[in-house]
Structure 1
Amino acid sequence: MTTACTQAGVPGKGIDRVVEHYLDGELRGKPSHGLAKFAFESQFFSQRVGPPRIKHERGAMAVVDGQREVGPLSADFAVRLAARKARRLGVGVVGMVNCQRYGILASWSEQIAERGLVGLVANTSRPEATVHGARTPFLGVNPVSFAFPTSDSTVSADMSTTLAPMGVLWEARRSGSPLPPDCFVDEHGAFTDDPDAARAAMVFGEHRGFALSLLIQILTGSLFGFPMGERVDSTWTTGYTFIALDPTFAGQGEEHLVANASLTDAVRQAATREGGSVRVPGQEGKDRAARARKTGRLTLDEALYKRLQARAAGDFTSD
């Protein structure tokens, strides 16, 4: 991956950040946003124009032109900007467009939380999602992640508002494998496991998921004057949002850290019907990554490994 980044002209000081981001997604058990996504997104790395720049700024809000920067590097810029504003004003709200895609969102909400702030990160996509009872895609897949600090750690959640991310569909088409059941619909609105017949991802939770996805659509679109719906026609017109909140501006000092830790402990101690305990969001992925890093080994599908080898050799198109 490092060699591939070098071949594609990723700035030297940013290579480790890019590699670590996609590797972390893989280690957390999200392969659709891990090495397979690196193999796909790396075809755009050489199209970067330069580092992101602030296009408009007023008070707590800013609009950033990503200048087609590599996804993890553009996101890192937006996170730092949102955090700086939150430290100064109590809140930082940054919208970014014209950048490459990245993998998991939790990397960025957690980066905000590690600064003692509450973080929320979201983005849209082409209109690739639809809702219960419909067959026409009109929403982006609209994933969202939030993270908050405690006195001893950070807690995060990272989720798509569709039952499965579009990366699952892309990889299924590439490999010829079936889709997970009841996650994608065909042109008639019927669920299908055929990746070639699928036309839209299904939003979760019927009207509740629909409402949440609609909110994220606004937060990643018209709030900043970014395209929505069919106007999102490429990587470069996709909108991203980064929000940082500083609880100390509410006049409670650092007490929120202890309160958050207490709440998290209460979640862990809550019993299930089977006699176990309730799982804190995001913890399973973090534990999985920690175990993998301890062993220092990662098992890959042979086809994916060959794709990574091709990227390292300078071939960014073959699959």
Structure 2
Amino acid sequence: MDSVLPVRGGREEAVRLDVGIDDIRALMTTACIRAGIPSGGAGRVAEHYLDGELRRKPSHGVAKFVFESQFFSQRLGPPRIRHERGAMAVVDGRREVGPLSADFAVRLAARTARRLGVGVVGMVNTQRYGILASFSEQIAERGLVGLVANTSRPEATVHGARTPFLGVNPVSFAFPTSDGAVSADMSTTLAPMGVLWEARRTGCPLPPDCFVDEDGAFTDDPDAARAAMVFGEHRGFALSLLIQVLTGSLFGFPMGEGVDSTWSTGYLFIALDPAFAGQGEGHLAANTGLVEAIGRAAAREGGSVRLPGQEGKAHAARARKTGRLALDEALYQRLRARAAGDFTSD
């Protein structure tokens, strides 16, 4: 029997369950199959969102699976290439489930990079997925450098403003080493929109200084929040602006207020083959040396400098070894409802 762990937070005391990872995986897979996803794809989708949960990104884990699964039946897939010229391609996702359409884009970008040195794929008309690192790492595991990004509705604003005009514009990159891929995965806002969605559903307060109200003042009230705040003042603004163009006008996709639904959201996948720079496989040794040098760097308070993504991967490895994870009881019941075929209640 699953043990119960009380956790304080929000308007009520939340209850977290110690649940078997295999149980969660089975419920997610069953929900996918009930939504009409073929069995092979169902396992892939379940593993994608489970990985986000295990890496301690709950806004992109089981909670996002439960939310996104209500749209799985709308898939028309598989995706199709709408336009291709040189190193660039535009893909119509055909409303495919996000992890599956992203896998298609990754394969296309990597295949093109092997042929031309670079592959740049823009995709639109697809469902959302969870963590971006899942896809930048796939590119890096092929010995390539990968970059993945996407936009959203205009849900973000910048320091000194109050009107949302940018997407939350997350970005992930990964590069290969002799010991596997190293990756970073981040939103260009101080908190992802998934945090706001779950806070509105549960009534929990927002993290401080991450969302602003209609007057541009920070708020922890999910009902008063109108925009996510971009990190880093003008430096974060500049990065988010770049991602907006790369996921928008570069491919003729909508930007700003033109992004009015999931289906008009732009996605970007870039693969770069270092072999085309004339050094063969030398980049693997160089990247490995860089990572080792970082590992030897001393942190101010002892220990070593932590690489991006390192802590999440380590946590996932520990959780997979124990076979258990802590999950909010209400979320667990929502997942069980999805597995039973209920895609409407929340």
- 1:207 and 2:234 correspond: yes
Aligned to 1:119: 146
- The reply on whether 1:286 has 2:309 as its aligned counterpart is no
User: In structure 1, what is the equivalent of residue 281 of structure 2?
Assistant: 254
More strand by share: 2
Deviations 1:167-211 (A, max 9, x none): 000000011000000000000000000000000000000000000
TM-score normalised by structure 1 residue count:
0.99
Question: What is the aligned counterpart of 2:297 among 246, 265, 270?
Answer: 270
CA distance in 2, matches of 1:317, 1:164: 27
Report whether the alignment pairs 1:82 with 2:109.
yes
| Residue 173 of structure 2: aligned partner | 146
Deviation at 1:152, TM superposition (A): 1.7
Work out the number of aligned pairs and report it. Answer: 319
Amino acid of the residue matched to residue 191 of structure 2?
A
In structure 2, what is the Cα distance between the partners aligned to 1:205 and 1:45? Answer: 35
RMSD between aligned residues: 0.5
Q: How does 1:72-221 map to 2 (within 5 A)?
A: 72-221=99-248
For the residues of structure 2 that align with 1:56 and 1:46, how far apart are their CA atoms? Answer: 26
- After TM superposition, the score normalised by the length of structure 2 is 0.92
Structure 2 letter corresponding to 1:205: G
Q: Report the CA distance between 1:108 and its aligned residue.
A: 0.1
CA apart distance, 1:102: 0.1
Moved more, 221-230 or 6-15: 6-15
Give deviations 1:230-254, integer Å, cap 9, x for gaps.
Answer: 0101000000000000000000000
Instruction: Name the SS for the 2:325 alignment partner.
Output: coil
Name the structure 2 match of 1:245: 272
**CA distance in 2 between partners of 1:157 and 1:227 (Å):** 26
- Tell me which of 46, 57, 60 is aligned to 2:87: 60
Letter in 1 for 2:94: Q
Q: Output the amino acid matched with 1:265.
A: E
1:121 Cα deviation from its structure 2 partner: 0.0
Quick one: distance in 2 between partners of 1:2 and 1:158? 25
Matched, 1:45 2:52: no
The 1-side partners of 2:222 and 2:122 are apart by: 32
> Is 1:71 aligned with 2:69?
no
Distance (Å, rounded) in 2 between the aligned partners of 1:211 and 1:177: 31
Identity between Structure 1 and Structure 2 (%) = 87
Residue identity in the other structure for 1:49? L
Q: CA deviation at 1:317?
A: 1.6
Cα distance in 2 between the residues matched to 1:317 and 1:306: 13
Q: What is the CA distance between 1:114 and its match in structure 2?
A: 0.1
User: Partner of 2:40 in structure 1?
Assistant: 13
Q: CA deviation at 1:90?
A: 0.2
Deviation of 1:272 (Å): 1.4
Pick the aligned partner of 1:235 from 262, 267, 285. Answer: 262
- Quote the Cα distance in structure 2 between the aligned partners of 1:24 and 1:317: 25
How far apart are residue 258 of structure 1 and its match? 0.3
